[in-house]
Structure 1
Amino acid sequence: MNDQNHQPSGIPIYLNKKEYRALIRILFKHILMFSNLTDQQTSKEFERINSMAERLLKYANDFASEDLVAHDVSTGTNFPSNELYREIITQINAYDEVNFWEELTQRLSERDLVKGRSFEELNESGMENHRQILEDRLVFYTDHFGEHGVENLYIINDPHHSD
């Protein structure tokens, strides 16, 4: 690790092979999950993390982790190997699947809580009643989507939908 091309700045961080591999995976999960966000602050953070990840990938040989890294000779850049990319995408897709259903059931349950009720009715019914309605709706949607998926979801008055 005393390679002249790897002049460290800042404080040294000592990692073993297992920790190095975990750090690379964490960085690339972050990069892949946030690469589509476009606001200025996220873009700056993304650039910093991407730059840091590329610097860390230069040490792959030192940690016997060449399988995690691909190298573009023409540009001199390092990036995750196809194997690592597939591993991370599989994990992100699994996360997205769970998150989608949780978010959908939560939002529909919250919608059902307020639907057809005035502010006064909601205020008078109390928090315990709200919790019970939300819990009942969450159970309903969780069971329904568990059995049917999105098969029964339709947009009312959708001109492109036909039964």
Structure 2
Amino acid sequence: MKIELTKKQYRDLIELLFLGNWLANASRTGAEGDERLEKYEEIQYFILSYAKQFQADDVVKAEGNEFYSTMDFEEKLMPVVEEYDDYTFWEQISMKLAKRDLLREIGPVSNLKEEHKERMYEIEEQYEIEFEKNGLKNLTLIKQEKKK
């Protein structure tokens, strides 16, 4: 199979590859048990290897047989990453706090029933409204004293 791309499509594709690989691997250390997902890096390197044919040398650098996007290229995409991270943060904090509060209400359960899920969504919505209005201003951690 052969896929033909315009120069613009190629540049858009390498942006998508960077963003996808960032999502898959940015938080991974590469240590045992936290290995990078190499299949994404491999396809990214493969596509980047065509930079010269698409006259994209300004955004791709070669080191031997390895190809990398330039720092300038990556920095231009960081606002997309930051927007995603910000959105995910607020969504996750509301969801996790809602689940915590629900389990405090109903006790530990192995499966949430439909009415529990509905209650969890209600709590989550309350957090979303609070965070949208005040951000983290009203969020306080209370240390519980250790029981002896």
Task: Please tell me the TM-score bracket, short chain as reference.
Answer: 0.7 to 0.9
Decide which of 66, 70, 73 is 1:81's aligned counterpart: 70
**1:113 to partner: Cα distance:** 1.4
TM-aligned CA distance change 1:116 to 1:35, over 3 Å: closer
When residues 109 and 77 of structure 1 are mapped into structure 2, their CA distance, relative to the original with a 3 A threshold, is same
1:45 aligns with 2:31: no
CA distance in 2 between counterparts of 1:87 and 1:158 reads 44
Match for residue 12 of structure 2?
Answer: 22
Pick closer, same or farther for the CA change 1:53–1:42 going to 2, 3 Å.
farther
Match of 2:60 in 1: 69
For residues 94-143 of structure 1, give each alpha carbon's deviation from its aligned partner in whole angstroms, at most 9, with x where no partner exists.
101000110110111111112143469x98xx623x24422321221111
Going from structure 1 to structure 2, the CA distance change for 1:41 and 1:26 (only over 3 Å counts) comes to farther
1:127 paired residue number = 114
CA distance in 2, matches of 1:118, 1:28: 43
C-alpha RMSD of the superposition: 3.2
Measure, in 1, the Cα distance between the counterparts of 2:100 and 2:18: 36
Which of the pair is proportionally richer in helix? 1
1:53 and 1:147 map into 2 onto residues whose CA distance is 40
Who wins on radius of gyration, i.e. which is larger?
1
Partner of 2:139: 153
Name the structure 2 match of 1:8.
none
Query: Is the alpha carbon distance of 1:22 and 1:42 closer, same or farther for their aligned partners in structure 2, counting shifts above 3 Å?
Result: farther
Secondary structure at the residue paired with 1:70?
strand
SS in structure 2 of the partner of residue 61 of structure 1: coil
Q: Tell me the distance in 2 between the aligned counterparts of 1:79 and 1:43.
A: 19
Q: What letter matches 1:27 in structure 2?
A: L
Whole-Å separation in 2 of the counterparts to 1:42 and 1:13: 34
SS in 2 for 1:78: strand
- Shift in Å at residue 42 of structure 1? 6.6
Structure 2 partner of 1:139: 125
Matched to 1:30, the amino acid is G
Amino acid at match of 2:16: I
